[in-house]
Amino acid sequence: MTMDVSAPDPAASTPGGTGKPELVLKSSEFRKGREGGWRELEGLVDRVERRGMHALSLDELQRLPILYRAALSSLSVARTIALDRNLLLYLESLALRAFLAVYGPRLSPREGLRAFFGRELPAAVRSARWHILIAALCLLVGTALGFVLAVQDEAWFSSLVPSGLAGGRGPSSTRDDLYRDEIFAPWPGPVESFGIFANVLFSHNTLVGIMTFGLGMAAGVPTVLLAAYQGLPLGAFLALHYHRGLTVDFLGWLAIHGTTELGALIMFAAGGLVIAEKLLFPGRHSRLENLAIHGRLAAQMAVGAVLMLFVAAILEGGFRQLVQSTPLRFAIGLTVGALWLAYFCFCGRRKSR
Amino acid sequence: MTSTYERTSQFLEGVRREQRQIITPEGVPVTVELADYGERLIALTIDLFFWLLLTLAIFIPIVLAIGTRGGLIAISIALFIGFLVRNLYFVYFELAWRGSTPGKRLVGLRVVDRSGGPLLPSAVVARNLTREIEMFIPLGVLLTWGSAADGSVDWENLAIAVWLLFFTALPFINRDRMRGGDLIAGTMVIALPKRVLLSDLVERTVKFSFTEQQLRAYGAFELQVLEELLRHPDTPDSVLVLNEVCNKIRHKIGWAAPIASADVVPFLREFYTAERAFLEREQLYGKARPDKHAPPTRTA
């Protein structure tokens, strides 16, 4: 078998006399012909990795995909004809880096955020309406249960409401106590209300919410339980105020932030249920694939819920005690609730085809 | 093919990296190397360090502006800023830097889509939000490690901590070393070492000549080990190794003539060239020989 002799060597003396022609390796020639393109691509990819796509000029942007495909084809060829380890490793790495540069995220963080809040989040929420309904039902059942239990016997209150949440309120509280120290308690001032109270509320609620969401991975049973469990103290509080003739004032006290906060908890739970459903009923995909496809949707809802909790904490910690009128509290709470509803129902509908 | 240089890496460096293949939209499989646990831990530590710096940089002016009237206020503000900064930090950098954060970039890691598609913003958001349940919440629970306010053991807290540790341990119990966040977002973390293209070792002018029988002594694995040895920089140690290798090869292929010590490297390079030419040609005809133990494909 003779080999290609494309470059006759002037010093082509072949000692030993085996009659073999000058060694010219196909892989070596192959490399010589294409090395320029690889080096050019490497330079472009280097710059993209360091400074982003903006570092490239228009011409270079046009060259990038061409060089990338050439490198991919070089890789395929090299895998069959070359045994040069350094060359193969280099091409593998170059092809991968170029692939990541060409198919990397195309949105800047700002555009990404706009797309997220303008389109993806409301669409995700809309697509999970049944999960939201189930989560809301769980919360409602919990609330009803808490109310029924505590309205019959207020001794239930202490077992339904954790002492940290009760904050001194309980069967022994009089109507006056609740009215003065809770519902129409004086505003503690900006630092305390925004600095501590809103903050503690936000951290606590986020923790509970993210747990509700994350435990969706455990087939959703903890999610359902947690959602209902959140309702229990709510029902117990309602019963406590009901007995003391403060139902309407309490509901106003709750509504100003409750529409947002409970909405957020429902969203978290619904996100957990989405994950649980996709794990339990993977359909045509494998469980992992299915989770990867729909997990993003669930995570989007969780992000939206964190945002809602943020708003809720500001309303609850900062403004609730500043607004000392039940009708006004109802008005604020219901308006904010309606705004959320409108946002999730109608935003980005036209663009998402 | 792929397995040959994997095997050489394992032989020379003593480590074997887990590899996966991503099929590009062009239909070419590209090999990716999974990131090691150690690398990910280092990257995370670096990121957490930056996070701490950033949090402090925002926290200190705020506290100075408000005035430190109470420790509780300061702590709650610090916690809140920390929460915001760490979530924004990871999401921002993984979006802006194409799947890497400062820590990941320093270590050479990237987040990629598992199926070879583009890395979407929602995937980045998803994999970083779950960091809270996997890492920071268990950490917080563990720090208070079941100690209730009255000093007794808080069994409820302890149970939560153990349960949450399961999520933290997820990367250790799946094949692709995915966190819970990676599972949800459909991503994985890969190592992206930069490789330099070195000059070709092929010699043009031939002083020594080898028969086909002699070249049949070795396979691709031995060829690539020889290549790595020849690419090593000159040290007294490597000269010794090359001499030894030269003697072994001479013995194996039955090269009777002695070789002067100045000729050792040229001899090895020419042997490499001839061997590679021979093996590549054989491979082109569908007679690839992975190593010297493989049965001879054909006798001349």
Higher pLDDT, B155 or A290: A290
Higher pLDDT, A34 or B165: A34
- Quick check: A343 and A122 in contact, CB under 8 A? yes
How confident is the model at residue B50, as a pLDDT?
Answer: 94
How confident is the model at residue A10, as a pLDDT?
Answer: 38
Q: pLDDT category, B86, cuts 50, 70, 90?
A: confident
CA distance A231 to A250: 16
What is the 8-class DSSP label of residue A56?
S
ipTM higher than threshold 0.85: no
Q: Does A120 touch chain B (CB under 8 A)?
A: yes
Residues of B with CB below 8 A from A20's CB?
209
How confident is the model at residue A85, as a pLDDT?
Answer: 85
Paired strand residues for B149:
none
Give alpha helix (H) positions in chain A. 26-51, 58-81, 85-102, 109-115, 121-127, 129-152, 156-160, 163-166, 175-177, 190, 198-214, 221-243, 247-280, 287-313, 326-346
How confident is the model at residue A3, as a pLDDT?
Answer: 43
Helix (H, G, I), strand (E, B) or coil at B31: strand
pLDDT digits 0-9 by tens, B25-51: 888 888 888 888 889 999 999 999 999
* Interface contact flag, B202 A94, Cβ < 8 Å: no
Paired strand residues for A192:
none
A16 has pLDDT over 60:
no
CA distances from B56 to A60, A197, B52, B53 (A): 41, 22, 6, 5
**Residue B113, phi then psi, degrees to nearest 5:** -75, 135
CA distances from B63 to A191, B58, B67, B79, B81 (A): 11, 9, 6, 13, 12
How confident is the model at residue B194, as a pLDDT?
Answer: 79
- Quick check: A340 and A236 in contact, CB under 8 A? no
- Which residues, 6+ apart, have CB-to-CB distance to B179 below 8 Å? B127, B130, B131, B134, B170, B171
Give first-to-last CA distance, chain B, whole Å.
24
pLDDT digits 0-9 by tens, A275-317: 888 888 877 888 877 877 777 788 888 888 888 888 888 787 7
**pLDDT above 70 as % of chain B:** 83
Least confident of A98-102, A207-211, A281-285, A319-323: A319-323
B53 has pLDDT over 90:
yes
Task: List strands edge to edge, sheet with B19-23.
Answer: B19-23, B29-34, B187-191, B109-113
- Quick check: A3 and B261 in contact, CB under 8 A? no
Choose from B197, B213, B273 for mutation: most chain A CBs within 10 A: B197
Measure in Å the smallest separation between the Cα of B263 and chain A Cα atoms. 16
The number of angstroms, rounded, from the C-alpha of B189 to the middle of its chain's C-alpha atoms is: 9
How confident is the model at residue B246, as a pLDDT?
Answer: 84
Q: In whole numbers, what is the pLDDT of chain B averaged over residues?
A: 79
Residues of A with CB below 8 A from B24's CB?
72, 95, 99, 103
How confident is the model at residue A196, as a pLDDT?
Answer: 64
Instruction: Find the radius of gyration of the CA atoms of chain B.
Output: 28
Residues of B with CB below 8 A from A45's CB?
none
Helix (H, G, I), strand (E, B) or coil at B7: helix
For the four alpha carbons of B48, B53, B54 and B55, in that order, the dihedral sign comes to positive
How confident is the model at residue A44, as a pLDDT?
Answer: 92
Paired strand residues for B19:
B33
- Quick check: A75 and A89 in contact, CB under 8 A? no
Mean pLDDT of B81-101: 85
How confident is the model at residue A7, as a pLDDT?
Answer: 39
Q: Does A31 touch chain B (CB under 8 A)?
A: yes
Helix (H, G, I), strand (E, B) or coil at B237: helix
How confident is the model at residue A190, as a pLDDT?
Answer: 63
* Interface contact flag, B95 A112, Cβ < 8 Å: yes
B191 has pLDDT over 80:
yes
Choose from B114, B125, B167 for mutation: most chain A CBs within 10 A: B125
Residues of A with CB below 8 A from B118's CB?
103-106
A13 has pLDDT over 60:
no
Mean pLDDT of B219-227: 84
CA distance A212 to A272: 6
What is the 8-class DSSP label of residue B153?
B
pLDDT digits 0-9 by tens, A196-253: 666 667 777 777 887 787 777 777 788 888 888 888 888 888 888 888 877 788 888 8
Query: What is the CB-side half-sphere exposure of residue A204 using CA atoms within 13 A?
Result: 13
Q: Please give the structure tokens belonging to residue B6.
A: 């994997």
Q: Please give the structure tokens belonging to residue A346.
A: 């109608």
How confident is the model at residue A193, as a pLDDT?
Answer: 64
Virtual CA dihedral for A216, A219, A222, A224, nearest 10 degrees?
80
Higher pLDDT, B154 or A328: A328
* Interface contact flag, A105 B83, Cβ < 8 Å: no
Q: pLDDT category, B14, cuts 50, 70, 90?
A: low
Closest by Cα among A38, A102, A33 to B196: A38
Measure in Å the smallest separation between the Cα of B235 and chain A Cα atoms. 21
Q: Which residue of A has its CA nearest to B71?
A: A196
Q: pLDDT category, B175, cuts 50, 70, 90?
A: confident
Q: Please give the structure tokens belonging to residue A302.
A: 């969780």
A15 has pLDDT over 50:
no
Give the relative orientation of helices B236-253 and B264-284 as an angle to the nearest 10 degrees.
Answer: 60
Q: pLDDT category, A23, cuts 50, 70, 90?
A: low
What is the 8-class DSSP label of residue A156?
H
Q: Which residue of B has its CA nearest to A288?
A: B183
Least confident of A123-137, B80-94, B240-254, B283-297: B283-297
CA distance B183 to B170: 10
Mean pLDDT of A251-261: 83
Q: pLDDT category, A11, cuts 50, 70, 90?
A: very low
Residues of A with CB below 8 A from B289's CB?
none
CA distance A45 to B196: 13
- Quick check: A182 and B59 in contact, CB under 8 A? no
Closest by Cα among B180, B175, B190, B191 to B138: B180
Chain B residues 194-223 with a CB less than 8 Å from chain A: 194-198, 200-209, 211, 220, 223
What is the 8-class DSSP label of residue B195?
-
Domain map of chain A by residue range?
A: 26-102, 111-346
- Which residues, 6+ apart, have CB-to-CB distance to B93 below 8 Å? B100, B101, B102
Q: Please give the structure tokens belonging to residue B181.
A: 């966040």
- Quick check: B126 and A300 in contact, CB under 8 A? yes
CA distance B276 to B220: 8
Q: Which residue of B has its CA nearest to A113?
A: B121
Residue type, B59: F
